[in-house]
């Protein structure tokens, strides 16, 4: 399964006081992530019923490309910049059923 396309759904919930700063930090991830090897798409969304809740819908050419993303410079910078701003993160690794 390791060489098949990996879909990642990442739900990120902001602490209420940090909504705008976290939103900016998430947006800042998009351009460098799309430039990464193996990134097919990296789409950020905000929930209509809970403005604190964000969701990335991501597809990667393989799980190892996503592993590289998780230790990329921009992810590390994001983690540092948004320390204390995040209430909860849930990550789901999936494959598409055609």
The H or E element spanning position 32 is: helix 19-34
| Total binding residues toward a copy of itself, as defined by CB under 8 A | 23
Give 20's contacts (C-beta < 8 A, 6+ positions apart). Answer: none
Which residue, 87 or 93, is less far from a copy of itself as judged by CB?
A: 93
Tokens of 77: 């910078």
- DSSP β-bridge partners for residue 9: 57, 92
Binding mask 32-71 for a copy of itself (x = CB under 8 A): -----------xxxxxxx---xxx-x--------------
The contact set with a copy of itself (CB under 8 A) reads: 1, 7, 9, 23, 26-27, 43-49, 53-55, 57, 92-97
């Amino acid at each position: 399964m390791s060489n098949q396309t990996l879909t990642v759904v990442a739900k990120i919930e902001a602490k209420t006081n940090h909504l705008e700063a976290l939103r900016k930090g998430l947006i800042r991830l998009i351009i460098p992530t799309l430039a990464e090897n193996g990134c097919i798409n990296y789409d950020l969304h905000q929930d209509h019923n809970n403005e604190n809740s964000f969701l990335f819908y991501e597809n990667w050419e393989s799980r190892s490309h996503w592993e590289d993303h998780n230790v990329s410079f921009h992810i590390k910078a994001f983690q540092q910049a948004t320390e204390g701003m995040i209430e909860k993160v849930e990550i789901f690794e999936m494959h598409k059923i055609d």
